[in-house]
Amino acid sequence: MTVLAELVSEQWEYRELLVRMTARDLLLRYKQTVMGFGWAIFMPLVNTAIFSVIFTRVAVIDVGQPYPVYAFCGLLAWNFFASSLRFAIASLTSNPSLVTKVYFPREIFPFSAVLVSIVDFAVASLVMVGLMLYYRTPVGWSLALVPVVVLALVIFTAALALLVAMGNLFYRDVKYLFEIVIAVWMFATSVVYPIGRVGGRLGLLLTLNPMTHLIDGFRAVLLNGRAPDSAFLVTFAASVALFGFAWALFHRAEFEFAENL
């Protein structure tokens, strides 16, 4: 606990650098693009349209609500998660001069990747609101729990961002394996279809996927008007523990970063 308290204190001390780094990464991501922040909306909309055709015309499934709302909600959370890790994985290796020559908390790099993706998440959330209004999705008291679910998602994502950024620094083939893992992971998560439809041992195995419980919790409070179930609470607690472990491990290994760049 003492180590984590020191890490939080140091991060707070360098908070202005984190803000500036996030602003820089946000500017670089959309520099010389025609659509700019429109990409944060365009990609989940295209994916929602594709999966809507598949699961309402080809392989019809009943999700208990308009499928486009169901799919976009899942893709909104998943795109934040995948985008954060995709940018975090190269955050250290793409900044060798800063990592090796200037002292500051190195976790600022993966944290910056997560914060930039939060901006994209916020922009795409406007479309989520529009879809809910269009399909007349009822809302209730559970909307007050949305920040709690988003916080759990951010903590879990930040923990993995620290691990993949550190892993890719020591073993450069991590970034290639990541693309395979993230593609398989998406279809092992209840992003575009309910994992509960998968039976047998595979279905039991998929219930161990923490992203499923985070996305199901997001849908529960946003679309279903209820609190997340107990599996979400367990995932939230496990995410906090994983975040503390990943941050401490990252801090312990950062003294070897320079010699591996």
Predicted local distance difference test score (pLDDT) of residue 34: 60
**Measured distance CA(116)–CA(126) in Å, rounded:** 17
Residue with the bigger pLDDT between 79 and 103: it is: 79
Question: Taking 70 as the threshold, does the pLDDT of residue 156 lie above it?
Answer: yes
**Band (78; pLDDT cuts 50, 70, 90):** very high
Residue 11 CB neighbours (<10 A): 17
Average pLDDT over residues 100-112: 85
Which residue do the tokens 């910056």 mark? 112
Answer for the pair 191, 113: CB distance below 8 angstroms, yes or no: no
Answer for the pair 233, 210: CB distance below 8 angstroms, yes or no: no
Number of structural domains (the chain) is 1
**Measured distance CA(154)–CA(152) in Å, rounded:** 5
pLDDT digits (tens, 9 = 90+) for 170-219: 888 898 999 999 999 999 999 988 887 787 787 888 889 999 999 999 99
Question: Taking 70 as the threshold, does the pLDDT of residue 228 lie above it?
Answer: yes
Average pLDDT over residues 88-110: 84
Q: Please report, to the nearest 10 degrees, the dihedral formed by the alpha carbons of residues 240, 148, 183, 170 taken in order.
A: -30
pLDDT digits (tens, 9 = 90+) for 4-56: 777 778 788 888 888 888 888 888 777 766 666 677 788 888 888 898 888 88
Tokens read off for 5: 């308290």
Average pLDDT, the chain: 88
Main-chain phi, psi angles of 47, to 5 degrees: -65, -40
Residue 104 is classified by DSSP as S
Q: How far is residue 122 from each of residues 27, 79, 125, 152, measured CA to CA in Å?
A: 16, 12, 5, 16
Residue with the bigger pLDDT between 28 and 106: it is: 106
Range of the domain at 202: 2-260
Percentage of the residues of the chain whose pLDDT score is greater than 70: 95
Burial of 56 (0-12, 13-18, 19+ CB in 10 A): middle
Least Cα distance to 157 among 118, 99, 207, 194 occurs for 118
Predicted local distance difference test score (pLDDT) of residue 189: 92
Residue with the bigger pLDDT between 152 and 24: it is: 152
